[in-house]
Structure 1
Amino acid sequence: MTGQQQRFARRNHGTGHGYTLDGHEIPGVTTIIGLLDKPALVNWAAEQSASYAVENWGRLSELPLMERAKQIRNARFAKNRQATTKGTRIHAMAERLQAGEPVESIDVPLTVESQVQAVARFLDDWQMQPVCAETPLCNTGYRYGGTLDSIVTSPRLGTILMDWKTGKGVYDETALQLAAYRAADLTLAEQVTVGPRGGRKTSWVEQPMPEVDGCYVAHVLTDSIELHPVTADEQVLAAFLYLREVYDLWTTRTGWRFRDTPGYAPTVGAPIYPEDKPVKEQDDE
């Protein structure tokens, strides 16, 4: 596709990112899957707030009531940031190891040293060689984007799409994620050009999505890796595409962030009773 106008792009903004196709924003795979109800997360958040309150009862009791409530309410976000930071570091180290860097040459933080050593052993044991890593992708027909963790080859498994998970468990939603990635038809490959004075310029080249023989999750534990096969077949893809349709039919219609788009059409109107209610008061609510 060299020489053609680039259709797909990933744009980073702050700590997040988004995707565009043909100049229009498209939803990410994880955003679409986020439509699913996750009661376990609600329970987890409640447990984090309760634990924080119990463990910090003395200090919190000296604070004003509203500040006390704010710190308890936000406790889960601090815990989640710690886990996210650790997971991001492990992902970054795994990417470098897959690219062939020896673990001895990587400055590994002590907080993830045992996990990185486990990743290195795992890659050696399965003789995994990289095809691509942290690769943006999209499906141009169903118009969604995403970023896969890695595609590798292994003598025992062939060419596989692999996702690294660093949380407490591996959940069925991962199958939706990998099925969506597997069905992509366009990826972005990083291309680095070195100038005559040693300057480096990075650009992105569109390429077809590689075919894979299977999908797997590498679950990173404290000092070992569990490799799980994942069913990411046509039925699982169909379930994801139903969610994709719900996103278009409902989220873009009622979501506040879409209020300036033509498709925004909330289903609940302003109150019509009592009839003497001031218009301004209706708008404020």
Structure 2
Amino acid sequence: MSKIRTIYRGGSRFYLNTAFPDNVYPGVTSVLGMLPKQNFLGPWNARMTAELAVDSIDFVQQMAARDRDGAVDYLRGAARRYTKVRADVGSNAHDLFERLIRGETVYSVHPDLEPYKKHFLEFLAAVNPELVRAEDVAWSDTHEYAGSFDVVMYVWLDDEGNPTPDRSGTRHLIMGDWKTSKATYPDVALQMAAYANADFMIDPDGNRTPMPEFDGAAVLHITDTQWAFKPVVIDDEVFEEFLRLRGTFNWDRDLSRRVVLKPIASSKSRLVTGTQRRG
């Protein structure tokens, strides 16, 4: 039975099907890395460094007295360390959400995850979704990409698009995503459009199932203070934008490295004058 594995090349994640080892496809999130970088990152990094310096000024002064370069590295790494902590919380929260939506009773969690558990249980009570698939791989041979989606589920909605937790409304098949970031960003639409338009869903045992037709998509934005379940547009226009990024990924990782050839003419060596030789 073939299995899906992930590898990293040049900072990007690729998916490999062991039955077809020549088919190595970039991950959806790596393709989304072709989007222009947000211009707030520079000021945000600077602010994180400044806040750390002010909040721990005595400690930094003591460190600098012993090891100036170490103090500089400590301050410079403020944003990186914060991002790592948030990524760990996000990964642990995703694991918790999968357990809960599968019906597992989770009695105790780390204190940092308690509010996420509380809010996810509130979501389950308010929406009452039916799980179809969770944490499987979306695989596209047609467009050569792959990625791990969070959830495929049924939700029941009334005529105004609001959830009916008693399941009295119309059943909709939804591509879903959990987000624990500070905000919900537009690229989630590109991400879910890619998953929904893949050719197959592949489970951990390597079993392939054709990707179904979806009635829509939604993101559950859940933090330690609140949660919100938001519909997301994943129509053809959005998917076409993702495919443009897929082409940009090919340009960045391959074609751009093959278009400037070796020089066929160049400047001569700089003339050394007789005066220079004698001097």
TM-score (norm 1): 0.78
RMSD of equivalent CA atoms: 2.6
> Could you tell me which amino acid in structure 2 is paired with residue 49 of structure 1?
T
Compared CA separation, residues 35 and 17, structure 1 to 2 (3 A):
closer
What is the DSSP-based 3-state SS (H/G/I as helix, E as strand, rest coil) of the residue aligned with 1:215? strand
Compared CA separation, residues 273 and 72, structure 1 to 2 (3 A):
farther
Cα offset, 1:216, TM superposition: 0.5
* 1:133 and 1:149 in contact (8 A); partners too: yes
Residue 161 of structure 2: aligned partner: none
Check if 1:10 corresponds to 2:5. yes
What is the DSSP-based 3-state SS (H/G/I as helix, E as strand, rest coil) of the residue aligned with 2:245? helix
| Unaligned 5+ runs, structure 2 | 158-170, 271-279
**Of 223, 242, 262, which aligns to 1:221?**
223
Q: Map of 1:22-37 to 2, 5 A cutoff?
A: 22-23=20-21, 24-37=23-36
Compared CA separation, residues 236 and 120, structure 1 to 2 (3 A):
same
Cα offset, 1:73, TM superposition: 1.6
Task: Give the stretch that moved more between structures: 52-61 or 113-122.
Answer: 52-61
| Bigger Rg, structure 1 or 2 | 2
**Of 77, 85, 95, which aligns to 1:82?**
85
> Could you tell me which amino acid in structure 2 is paired with residue 135 of structure 1?
D
Cα offset, 1:29, TM superposition: 0.7
What is the DSSP-based 3-state SS (H/G/I as helix, E as strand, rest coil) of the residue aligned with 1:167? coil
Q: Percent identity?
A: 26
Aligned-partner Cα distance in 1 for 2:96–2:262: 51
* 1:132 and 1:150 in contact (8 A); partners too: yes
> Could you tell me which amino acid in structure 2 is paired with residue 179 of structure 1?
A
| Unaligned 5+ runs, structure 1 | 191-202, 255-263, 277-285
Aligned-partner Cα distance in 1 for 2:84–2:261: 35
Residue 260 of structure 1: aligned partner: none
Check if 1:122 corresponds to 2:123. yes
Q: Map of 1:32-181 to 2, 5 A cutoff?
A: 32-37=31-36, 38-61=38-61, 62-63=63-64, 64-102=67-105, 105-156=106-157, 158-181=172-195
Residue 252 of structure 1: aligned partner: 254
Check if 1:207 corresponds to 2:205. no
> Could you tell me which amino acid in structure 1 is paired with residue 72 of structure 2?
A
Aligned-partner Cα distance in 2 for 1:187–1:121: 28
Cα offset, 1:223, TM superposition: 4.1
